[in-house]
Amino acid sequence: MKITLKNCNNINEGSITLNENNLNIKYAINGMGKSTIARAIISFSNDLANSTKTLTDLKPFKHLGNKDNDPEVIGCENIKSVKVFNENYINEYIFQPDELVKGSFNIFIQDENYLNGLKEINELVEDIQKMFIENKDIDDLIKDFDELSGSFGRSTKSGIHGSSNLAKAFKNGNKIENIPEELNDYKKYIQHGENYKWIKWQLDGKSFIDITENCPYCVSNIESKKENIVKISEVYDSKSVQNLNRIIEVFQNLNKYFSDSTKKIIAEFIKNIDGYSDEQVDFLREVKEQIDRLNQKFNKAKTLSFKSLKDVDKVIDELKLYKIDLKLYNHLNSENTELKSNIVNSSIDKILDKAGVLQGKINQQKKYIEKLIDKNKRSINSFLRNAGYDYSVDLLENEAGQHQLKLIHNDIKDEITDVKNHLSFGEKNAFALVLFMYDALKAQPDLIILDDPISSFDKNKKYAIIEMLFRKNDSFKDKTVLLLTHDFEPIVDMVQHHRDRFSIPFAAFLENVNGKLTEKEINRSDIQTFIEINQKNIQDLAENIQKIVYLRRLYEITNNKEMEYHIISSLLHKKDEPEVKIETDIRKMTEEEIQRGEKEIQKYIHDFNYQQLVKKIKDDSEMKRIYSTTDSNYEKLHLYRMIFEDKEQGVDSDIIGKFINEAFHLENNYIYQLNPRKYQMVPQYVIKECDGLVDAI
């Protein structure tokens, strides 16, 4: 699959290749556009799916305000879904307050087999679910039971809490049913269905009643009625009346479920003039206790499922406990209650007929969950152990019956709750990568993008992560993955050292020269040792001046500080005659030393002649010619250093100057690397600085 990008940030145009069902590594130095590639593909995919235009956010600054030159991505029209690991993913999904990764139950447990097992169990208990769907009045009964029980407030020894809705409504008697004689004129209003609204209306107008002797509404004289009008606010308040109405309505709704004797006592309680007695409270407490017990039975039957039965060893005995024995509910022993109870009992009986099969399915589902938990725990914990992290994970069940991934420190064997602030930066990144892998495997996107995920890790942890991501069966192995990185080690591990362990990735080196993005494939033969690269370049190059650059590096890596090394060093520093420098001691080289040194050099550069080469290096026009004809940024860098060795002028920037003088000069970061003649490891912006100064000579 060839993907072409145009006008995306610092990429004017360029293409990359993606091999499907394979790991694609794009290796590049910083600034080449790796993150831009990721953003462009993601934006294109999202825009295609959601009819948005987020790709336009990548329009280069130089084209802003221009109708043309909009960003384009060509070639990934078949990529319908993308999962990307980057900083945004870590911030949004990883290290949630109650679990390591958002939706860990869905990621680690809820697969197709789990859902199929759950479906089979639900089909076996579907009679009870149908019963509640077909008998809506049972749901209404449960709601009324809940409301009446809640009106008692918090539990007290007296049975009714003083601040409860029930106490507020009835502690001073039912003043709606029993209207004070002096307020009889207002009876129709007080006993109206929306009386609380009328009372609120009265109370709102009370503040205006003393302005004059006239009614605030009809302006007729009310001097003789003022006392009664004020009396309304003393006896009634709108909230209490509204609360009273609602409780009475609930009692009336439940009336058909009460036994005859209980109906009478409750009716007397509702119409009580002076408030309730201790005996009435005790009676109501009994009624509430039976309502709560029966309500629990109905609710238990309503929620009958795998969750409610999974911890039960004997399903038949448990199901029998769901049945309702109405003899134990004397206050609710009515024809209507019996009818609802029989419906529930009948549904339970139907399930009991299938109890053996149900027990088997539940045990099968439990074992499958245990298998998933064990498998995922072992896999992650094996990685943590191999990478040297003193942590483990566990999938623990929450109150909702769902398993959540938790982090545990091996020293204390207890859950870590503040994970985000507890882990180091490296630990967080390692956990995040592994958790992302499981999340992406569950989502099954068309493309998985890893945007420079492992560069910050040390070698051991880096390999542990690579193995976890790309070697195991439950990994990104054989998935279409785009790994963007400036780290060469994964390529060395997978392409060079451990080809027998990994599916060979398609690796390529990205270059961006003045906005033109290109890639060069990296084969096993391109991964060479430091010594091999230098020997090959010395053999292949035509110019002796370029050869001595690599010969100097070869002597450095082999720790050769004999006369040949000092000759090369003197040559690079434009010395008229070779010198020997040992620490701060500098002296001229003897003829015998020169001959001995040149003889060694001629093993690599057969026509080496010091005087000829030093004359050439001092010739700026000749050096400019060589500089302009070489295609290697690395060689340009060293040629620049030679040209300006004896000159006062040079680059103004200390940062670029440090890069020119030190990078790729003495140090060798990897035993294995790419040949800098073939792969442009030196940034183009550094070469631009050199070009300008060389041209000015």
Residue 157 has a pLDDT of 60
Other Cβ atoms less than 10 A from the Cβ of 394: the count is 17
Per-residue pLDDT tens digits for 598-616 = 999 999 999 999 999 999 9
- Report the sign of the C-alpha dihedral through residues 288, 294, 295, 297, in that order: positive
Residue 658 has pLDDT above 60, yes or no: no
* pLDDT band with cut points at 50, 70 and 90 for residue 325: very high
Where in the sequence of the chain do the CATH 3.40.50.300 domains occur?
Answer: 1-95+423-526
Per-residue pLDDT tens digits for 517-560 = 999 999 998 888 888 888 888 998 888 998 998 898 888 888 88
Distance CA 208, CA 210 (A): 6
Task: Residue 483: name the closest of 517, 459, 451, 515 by CA.
Answer: 451
β-sheet bridge partners, residue 404: 396
Question: Which of 139-143, 149-153, 451-455, 625-629 shows the lowest per-residue confidence on average (mean pLDDT)?
Answer: 149-153
Distance CA 107, CA 35 (A): 27
Question: Which of 78-82, 120-124, 401-405, 663-667 shows the lowest per-residue confidence on average (mean pLDDT)?
Answer: 663-667
- Report the sign of the C-alpha dihedral through residues 635, 640, 642, 645, in that order: negative
The mean per-residue pLDDT over the stretch 126-143 comes to: 80
Above pLDDT 70, what percent of the chain?
A: 82
Residue 690 has pLDDT above 80, yes or no: no
* pLDDT band with cut points at 50, 70 and 90 for residue 62: confident
DSSP 3-state of 301: helix
Q: At what angle do helices 278-302 and 335-352 cross, to 10 degrees?
A: 30
* pLDDT band with cut points at 50, 70 and 90 for residue 26: very high
The mean per-residue pLDDT over the stretch 115-124 comes to: 87
Angle at CA 164, nearest 5°, toward 161 and 169? 115
Task: Residue 297: name the closest of 261, 277, 322 by CA.
Answer: 322
Question: Which of 54-58, 212-216, 334-338, 443-447 shows the lowest per-residue confidence on average (mean pLDDT)?
Answer: 212-216
β-sheet bridge partners, residue 57: none
* Helix then strand then coil, % of the chain, to nearest 5: 55, 10, 35
Q: Would you give the DSSP letter of residue 214?
A: B
Residue 234 has pLDDT above 70, yes or no: no
Burial status of residue 190 (CB atoms within 10 A of its CB: 0-12, 13-18, 19 or more): buried
Angle at CA 181, nearest 5°, toward 178 and 183? 90
Distance CA 569, CA 393 (A): 57
**Going edge to edge, which strands form the sheet with 506-513?**
72-74, 2-8, 11-17, 516-521, 506-513, 23-27, 481-485, 447-451, 82-85
Other Cβ atoms less than 10 A from the Cβ of 629: the count is 9
Distance CA 512, CA 33 (A): 8
Name the H helices within 353-424: 355-386, 419-422
Is the backbone of residue 407 left (phi > 0), alpha (psi -120 to 50) or beta? beta
Residue 502 has a pLDDT of 82
Residues 6+ away with beta carbon under 8 Å from 509? 27, 28, 519, 520, 522, 674, 679
Q: What is the mean pLDDT of the chain?
A: 81
- CA-based max dimension of the chain: 137
* pLDDT band with cut points at 50, 70 and 90 for residue 665: very low
Residue 659 has a pLDDT of 56
Residues 6+ away with beta carbon under 8 Å from 636? 627, 630, 682, 687, 690, 691
The mean per-residue pLDDT over the stretch 452-471 comes to: 79
Residue 651 has a pLDDT of 59
Distance CA 163, CA 665 (A): 83
Residue 173 has pLDDT above 60, yes or no: no
For residues 220-255, one letter each, b for 16 or more C-beta atoms within 10 angstroms of the residue's C-beta and e for the rest, the string is eebeeeeeebeebeeebbbebbbbbbebbebbebbe
For residues 49-79, one letter each, b for 16 or more C-beta atoms within 10 angstroms of the residue's C-beta and e for the rest, the string is eeeeeebeebbbeeeeeeeeeebebebbeeb
Domain 1-95+423-526 listed as CATH 3.40.50.2300: no
